[in-house]
Amino acid sequence: MHPGMNKPYSLLSQSLAALGTILPEHLASRDMHLDPDFEHLTYGDQGEPGKRGEQIRTKLGRDDMLIFYASLRDTEPALRLVYAIIGILVVEEIVLARDTADESRWRENAHTRRRDRRQDIVVLGRPGVSGRLERCIPIGAWRTPEGQPDRRPCYRVQPSILKEWGGLSVRDGFLQKSANLPEFLDPERFMAWFRGHHPTLVQRNN
């Protein structure tokens, strides 16, 4: 990490306190891999062959979109996590992290803050239509695969939502971490569903 470019978890303490909770003790002295970075409207990933960054660089271009979801823990005791959409980046440009050698750009993303950027890529989002949502949109459920009740349950997109989207490239809306990025089979249907939730972007400070 370049000197002074680390993002400690302690930066979240004030926001967590407003929600009536605190930072887990084991994270108090650690740094975040803050990515996506909605302050700068960027997302980075590893660009070596077979990695997600290469998939993004070869499949996406200007005006395409990345949708971000997260697993969230309720501030009240709850059995399961909440999987929900938290933000969107409409692609303005995709660059190699090593091409942001100018010190003034190091703060833009977790992959530009690193000294060793290798083949990492950074997606630059378009201002005005990219950012973090003021309110997340829940999409996931802890369930078994459709028609396979004997299979082990995991987090997947709810069947009714998956149908409204027109499907995903991953089997039965699998949401847990995967080496291959899920793709919308019908992006226009997804965007109609997304806009139907009247998403509002958090206003940036810069």
Contact 164, 135 (CB under 8 A): no
pLDDT digits (tens, 9 = 90+) for 104-150: 888 889 988 887 766 899 999 999 999 999 999 999 999 998 888 88
203 in a domain, yes or no?
no
pLDDT digits (tens, 9 = 90+) for 12-30: 999 999 988 899 999 999 9
Please count the structural domains in the chain: 2
On whether the pTM is more than 0.75, the answer is: yes
205 in a domain, yes or no?
no
- Do both 119 and 17 map to the same domain? no
- Do both 16 and 85 map to the same domain? no
- Do both 89 and 16 map to the same domain? no
- Do both 37 and 127 map to the same domain? yes
Contact 112, 97 (CB under 8 A): yes
- Do both 83 and 8 map to the same domain? no
3-class state of residue 187 by DSSP? helix
* Domain containing residue 37: 33-196
* Better pLDDT: 190 or 205: 190
- Do both 127 and 191 map to the same domain? yes
